[in-house]
Each structure stands twice: as structure tokens, then as C-alpha cells.
Amino acid sequence: MPEDQTAAALAGSTREHRGAHRVGTVDPDTTVEVTVYLRPRRGAPTRIAEDAAEPAPMLSRSELAEARGADPGEMAAVEQFASNHGLDIIERDAPGRRLRLRAGAAAMGRAFGVDLQRFQHLEGTYRGHTGPVLLPPELSDAVVAVLGLDDRRQAETRLRHAKDNSGVSYTPVTVGTAYGVQPGARATGVCVALIELGGGFSAGDLATYFTSLGLAEPEVEAVAVDGASNAPSGGSSGPDAEVMLDIEVVGAVANGTRIAVYFAPNTDQGFADAISAAVHDASRKPAVISISWGGPENTYTAQAVKAFEDTFTDAALAGTTVFVAAGDSGSSDGATDGLAHVDYPASSPQVVGCGGTQFHLEDGVIVTEVVWDDLPSGGATGGGVSASFPVPSWQESAGVPVSANPGQASGRGVPDVAGDADPASGYQIRVDGDDIVVGGTSAVAPLYAALAALAVAKAGEPLGFINRTLYQLGDSGFRDITEGDNGAYSAASGWDACTGLGSPKATPLIEALAARRASPAGTS
């Protein structure tokens, strides 16, 4: 513990150890890396989804860094703190307001006032601590999160494998065409970022796959974050399937895209750092980000959510549109407490949450489309009412119900949109030399990312925050899904907590997005 008795607890830094028990102390010489997130510069623009002012121009990455990057004095104070405690600075990212620090466990624990312990959970052993992170007075206002002291697994893929490959399945091209993507549609040069917390891709598999579709292979680049890398595991049942699904859906539906795959460790630190790396990438400048990983809202600390939300604000201001899978375990989101939960980061009001349907095609035309629900033996689309975020202004007239939980609280409704996700009407992909069929809302986020990339190509500029526009489009941009449920919530006319506004009518949706003036404040 710090000797300074005036040390302040970092808000939201205490993390519960549900289902785990302490099994020992971390070796004091074990190397520990953390990322310290700072607040945006004082006076920085904070226009996000709720703003109703006139549309503002997007900021370039350099303008964003100047406007919302870390205050130089506050960054210097963290650097001095690190030096005082013998912590090595291994990465400085002023635009992303973060410093990555490294030291032995004993030194790191002393610096932040925590006793690092080992905990055993059914999912494995992890490092963690009890009680909050403590900060000296000179940092207590500036620091919003210290991530990495706890290294437990943060997120899961939102992917489901077909029970076998003998059922109905489609190529991403067929899915896109069914939703109205025009033949030969391209998004030449548009950069789409994929966030991956494990796995990898094989150039050989990608070449084989796109050749089989008669398409040019997209330009795919791996970007290392926090020491992670493109590391295929060699098994189609692991995270490689997620990585390949994301690449193959984006590349097939929006051929010609440049795909940047940001690989990071599967911790709250790695997840946050990967998103920040993509948003602030001044070289590749992703116009669209697709995230197919997540977990129930209550599995994140408030400090982690603060770091994520600050970065999503940066994305909106820079014109980057973010799509996130809404989960594959129905209204419980896989939690076992008997309550309804929604998935984060899909529940962020600054992203587009993507739910799932099951559809049937005849001669390439949709003849039926319902909520994806194969519970209890399989998966189902996530969706429901957020316990973390209030109803955004652009959802106020959507008819978001109160929560199905006791207390019936109101909150941000999830998802916003939907698309084919049932493995029983799944996607044909290639991974680790195998041709397999998968589904899950993991497929829907890259599907919409591809549609957004097509709109960016048509507009000639990024789209920025689009949620308000999506809700204004209604039936003109979406096919309403009115049948089915995901457990606690049922489909209905208009928006619902299973499939949101519905599945895409690609041509009018793309045209409407391309025609709008990009508005990072969410006004349109």
C-alpha cells in the first residue's frame, strides 16, 4: 500500500471475483504490464450521440489528438509517478491518452496500492486483487482507468458452429445479395478494422476462399497490440474461426476493402487498447470498426467502461462507425443468475449493436425471416435493456420496453439492427484448411461493417455516428422482423429487443448513409 495516506481510490476499479477463490500470491518478480488511461484534455469537445446541435465536421486524426489527446502536464505527471515507483514506460500514446507500464508484480502492486493474488475459476487461473486501485492526489483527477492488474479473460466470441455441415448454408456473397447488395459492389480502398482477442488468419486459406468465390483477395494486414500477433491456433473450432469469419464476410460483401486486423490479449486491458489503437491509427485511418467479442455488462468494471466510452467518443468525432455483435445466448447473455442481461460493448450508445435472425431463401430471395432462437440446445440473439446506459435521445420514440428484471428499469435498447446469424442458415467459411459453416451475431457485425464500407465508398468520406440516421430510416432501410423471441423479449412491429429495427434493405440503406452529411455528433 502507498505510504501516502492521502491516496484516493480510483472510481470503478474494484472487481468482484464471482465463482473464484484465492489460491496464492503472485510471484513478486512476475512481469506485469498495465495501461493507464487519462481523461481527455480539459475543454475538449465531447459531442456524442446525445447532442442535438447542428452537424459538425469530422476531425482528422491529428485534429482529434490536439483536441482530445492527453494533457501534456497530466501525461508528464504519470511518467514521473512511474519513474518514482520504478515502473518502465513501454508505450506512450498521447492521442489515445494512455501509457503502458511494466514492472515486477511487487513494484506494480506497491505503486497502485493493491496486493496482487492468484485466483482459481472454472475457466482457469488468473491474477487479480481485492479492493480499489489507489492513486496519489496529483493523479486522482487525471486518471480514469488502470487496466491490466487483473488479467482474467474479458470477452468471448459471438460465434456459433453449425451442428454439422449438412444443413442449409450460404456464402457471404449470397447473404449480401439476398439483402440487396448490388452485384459487383466494391468498397475499393476503404479501411475496415477488425478487433480480435485471439486466433489468427492464414494467407493461403484466404487466397483459396476468395478464389472459390470468384473475387479478388482483399488486402489484409495484422496489427499487433500489447504484444499479441496473428497467431493461428490450427483448429477450426477455436478463435481462428472468428478471425476468418470476420475477414471473409467483410471481404466478400464489400470486395476491395483494406482490412486491418488488430490482435490483442483477451483482457480488459487488451480489449480497450485494441479499440484505441484502431480508432487512433493515423496511418490506416479505419472508416469502420467491427467487433465480434463481448460479455454481459456486469462483467466489466466501471473504469474499463469509462476507457471504452472515451474511445468510442473519439471514434465518433473522427468519423469512424463502430458495429458490435449483440451476443449469442439470448436475453440472459449467458449469465447464470436468472436475470436478463445485454452484451457490452454492444450496449454502448455510441456503437451500432447487431442482433441475429434466421432466414430461408428460395432462388436467392428471402421468403421467411424470424428471430434467431435455438435455445436451450443452441444459441439465440442477444438483446434487451441496458442496466448501464439510459435511453438515448434517438431511441426515445422507438418503444424500448422496460427491463424484464425486477424493478423494470428503463435503459438503452439493444440491438439496433439485425441480420442472418443462425448456424442453421449459416455462413460458409474457410479456416485452418477446413470448409465449415458458422453463425452467431459475430457474422452480423462484419456484415454491417461491409455495408457501411460500401456506403463510405459511395459517399467518398467516412460516415461517423449513424444511429440517429438508422432510426429515422425505419422501414425504408430495414426489413421488420415480427416473429420469434430471445427468451425475455419478443419480436414486434417496429423496433424490438431481439432484432432492433430489423434486417437490412441494403440498397436504400447504403444510399441513405452515403447521402447524409457525416456527423460525429450523431445529428443528421
Tell me the catalytic residues: 242, 246, 442
φ/ψ bin of 384: left (φ > 0), alpha (ψ from -120 to 50), beta (otherwise)? left
> How would you class 183 by CB atoms within 10 Å of its CB: exposed for 0-12, middle for 13-18, buried for 19 or more?
exposed
C-alpha–C-alpha distance, residues 46 and 314, integer Å: 9
Cα angle vertex 363, ends 358, 367, to 5°? Answer: 40
* CA contacts within 13 A on the Cβ side of 438: 29
What grid cell was written down for 431? 479456416
> β-strand 88-93 against 117-121: which pairing, if any?
unpaired
- Are the CB atoms for 118 and 130 separated by under 8 Å? no
Using CA atoms, how far residue 506 sits from 181, 216, 283, 518, in Å, is: 5, 22, 30, 19
Residue bearing cell 428471402:
366
Torsion angles phi and psi, residue 307, rounded to 5 = -65, -45
Across 76-225, where does the E strand assignment appear? 88-93, 98-104, 117-121, 124-128, 134-135, 143-147, 156-157, 160-161, 168-170, 191-196, 219-224
Residue 500, strand partner residues: 496
- Are the CB atoms for 33 and 90 separated by under 8 Å? yes
- 250 CB neighbour count, 10 Å cutoff: 30
What grid cell was written down for 135? 492513486
C-alpha–C-alpha distance, residues 470 and 509, integer Å: 8
* CA contacts within 13 A on the Cβ side of 391: 15
List, in sequence order, the alpha helices (H) in 481-524.
506-515
> β-strand 478-479 against 503-504: which pairing, if any?
antiparallel
Torsion angles phi and psi, residue 272, rounded to 5 = -65, -45
Residue 503, strand partner residues: 479
Q: Which residues of 459-471 are buried (b: 16+ CB within 10 A; e: fewer)?
A: beebbbbbbbbbb
The number of helices, as runs of H, and strands, as runs of E, in the chain is 11, 28
- SS3 call for 50: coil
